[in-house]
Amino acid sequence: MACRIAIDGPAGSGKTTVARLVAQRLGISYLDTGAMYRIVGLHLSRKGANVKSSSLKDYLKDLRIEYTDGNFYVNGTPVGEEIRTPEAGMYASLYAAHPDVREFLTRIQKEICKERNIVAEGRDIGTVVIPDAEVKIFLVASPEVRAKRRYFELIAKGYKVQYEDVLREIIERDQNDSKRDIAPLSKAVDAVEIDTSDLSIEEVVDMIIKLVRERCWEKF
């Protein structure tokens, strides 16, 4: 049996860093589902797709997303840093509420996670993508702590941003992601919640690895 680890939580909760490190320590695959919503968000915004349109299927027909060793390719071209801008995050969050987008990506994600040792992170991994995951984690942190992390991350990448704008964007995205009708950001009933506000990355990673060893002991 495979060991599938679902890590969910809001923007800036530390999901991506933690999930990547857990996968690295265990030597297993890593899936960043937020990157997939960013790819689709950028694609749809470039095509001028109306988020309120009843169907977005036509816009998704010519979009082929492939996943190899943790990297994404769109119609054969490797995906780069363009998906990491705050605008791409906002488009991702907006279009992620559309049923056609969720259906399109959930199907691909379920396929990637099938019968494989994997750490997958996002908003609905433990509730929708892998509802029977062996380990489910829900990371939380205060909006201020998350905004501070995002702010320093963006500054380090050379973006000129203001802390107040980043905080506003985080709160806005929390609203979008938790209030939507389909697959909203929510903690699975059987997920273990970890508040990362006052913990180091290493401490969070160690806590998750301990849980993995308890639940998938025959593998790790």
Cβ at position 38, least distance to ligand DC in Å: 6
Q: Cα(211)–Cα(6) distance, rounded to whole angstroms?
A: 12
Q: How far is the CB of 146 from ligand DC (least distance, A)?
A: 10
Query: Which region, judged by CB under 6 A, interacts with ligand DC, from 72-80, 120-128, 142-150, 159-167?
Result: 120-128
As measured in angstroms, the least distance from the Cβ of 199 to ligand DC is: 19
Kindly write out the interface string for residues 145-184 of this chain, putting x where it contacts ligand DC by CB under 6 A and - elsewhere: ----------------------------x---x-------
Tell me, letter by letter, the H, E, C secondary structure of 4-29.
EEEEECCCCCCHHHHHHHHHHHHCCE
Helices and strands (H and E) in the chain: how many = 8, 8
Please identify, using beta-carbon distances, which residue of 84 and 219 lies nearer to ligand DC.
84
Of 118-126, 131-139, 141-149, 156-164, which part binds ligand DC (CB under 6 A)?
A: 118-126
User: Contacts with ligand DC in 23-52 (CB under 6 A)?
Assistant: 33-34, 37-38
CB of 134 to ligand DC, least distance (A): 18
Gap between the Cα atoms of 118 and 26, Å rounded? 9
- Which of 1, 46, 38, 41 shows the shortest CA–CA distance to 16? 38
Say if residues 9 and 96 touch (Cβ distance below 8 Å).
Answer: no
3-state SS record for 121-142: EECCHHHHHCCCCCEEEEEECC
Nearer to ligand DC, 178 or 200 (CB): 178
CA distance 192 to 210: 12
Annotate each residue in 68-97 with x if it binds ligand DC (CB under 6 A) or - if it does not, as one string: ---------------------x--xx--x-
Cα-to-chain-centroid distance, residue 154 = 17
Site string for ligand DC, 5-24 (x = CB under 6 A): ------x-------------
Name the residues that contact ligand DC, by CB under 6 A: 11, 33-34, 37-38, 89, 92-93, 96, 122-124, 173, 177
